[in-house]
């Protein structure tokens, strides 16, 4: 049996087309089998979302990834508002057993004080670090990440990976979480993240690099031209 890549993807019914577009972009370029777990809130048995500051349904549930993998092996978490333009195996191959997880360590201030669906877009330390996470699910420090624990923690604690030391957090190349609009246009980015708003929303339909998203979404519906 060949190696399999475990991928946990943020899912919000209000933009479900984003999930299907993103997974399409991964499947059509991957050289290894992939297993997707959508973070649909209705499927997360044993976890009750009690936070009131969530702009989407997976703001907190992403930290269930090691738990969902029974604290074994590795997994990728990614927000659903993305398009993958490279073989996801390239990201998978960046695993480092000496780290608890690896992320793109963004250091920026947002250009917009509001994002999709009118949500407030604030600056804060380690902003967007948790939007793509290469998880070492077996790392012993992740054992505290149970449904009850996550439900009781603040966004500040979780999104800044406060249960870890800085040395536990490895770094991914920025092209694996390239922030559309926020960063200069980079049509060669391996993973484009439409963090301010997926092009499925009318306010972001024609923003930078949105045509790449629309082309991928069209293949979900129509397939490849014959």
**What is the rounded end-to-end Cα distance, in angstroms, of the chain?**
32
| pLDDT confidence of residue 120 | 60
Query: Is this structure's pTM higher than 0.85?
Result: yes
Least confident of 111-125, 131-145, 211-225: 111-125
Element (H, E) at 171: strand 169-171
Buried b (16+ CB within 10 A) or exposed e, 169-198: bbebebbbbbbbbbbeeeeebbbbbbbbbb
Tell me the average pLDDT across 26-33: 97
pLDDT band at 57 (very low <50, low <70, confident <90, very high): confident
Whole-angstrom Cα distance, residue 194 to residue 177? 10
Determine the structural domain holding residue 43 and report its residue range.
5-222
Least confident interval from 15-29, 42-56, 125-139, 204-218: 42-56
Return the C-alpha torsion angle 182, 184, 190, 196, nearest 10: 20
Please report the pLDDT score of residue 124 as a whole number.
67
Residue 118: pLDDT over 70: no
Mean pLDDT of 158-175: 97
Predicted confidence at residue 111, as pLDDT, reads 66
70 — pLDDT class (breaks 50, 70, 90): very high
Number of domains within the chain: 1
For residue 113, the model assigns a pLDDT of: 61
The CATH number linked to 26 is 3.90.550.10
Residue position matching structure tokens 């738990």: 67
Please tell me the predicted confidence (pLDDT) of residue 15.
86
**Is residue 36 scored above 90 in pLDDT?**
yes
């Amino acid at each position: 049996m060949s190696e399999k890549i475990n991928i946990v993807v943020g899912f919000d019914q209000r933009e479900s087309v984003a999930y299907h577009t993103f997974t399409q972009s991964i499947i059509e370029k991957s050289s290894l089998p992939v297993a997707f777990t959508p973070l649909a809130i209705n499927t997360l048995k044993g976890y009750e979302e009690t936070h009131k500051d969530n702009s989407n349904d997976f703001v907190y549930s992403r930290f269930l990834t090691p738990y969902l993998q029974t604290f074994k092996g590795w997994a990728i978490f990614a927000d659903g508002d993305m398009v993958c333009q490279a073989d996801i195996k390239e990201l998978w191959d960046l695993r480092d057993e000496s780290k608890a997880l690896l992320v793109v360590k963004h250091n920026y201030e947002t250009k917009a004080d509001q994002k999709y669906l009118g949500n407030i877009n604030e600056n804060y330390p380690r902003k967007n670090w948790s939007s793509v996470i290469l998880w070492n699910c077996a790392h012993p420090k992740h054992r505290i990440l149970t449904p009850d624990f996550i439900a009781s923690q603040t966004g500040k604690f979780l999104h800044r990976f406060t249960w870890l030391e800085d040395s536990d957090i490895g770094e991914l190349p920025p092209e694996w979480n390239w922030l559309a609009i926020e960063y200069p246009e980079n049509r060669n980015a391996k993973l484009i993240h439409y963090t301010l708003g997926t092009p499925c929303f009318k306010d972001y339909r024609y923003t930078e690099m949105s045509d790449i998203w629309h082309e991928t979404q069209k293949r979900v519906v129509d397939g490849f031209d014959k």
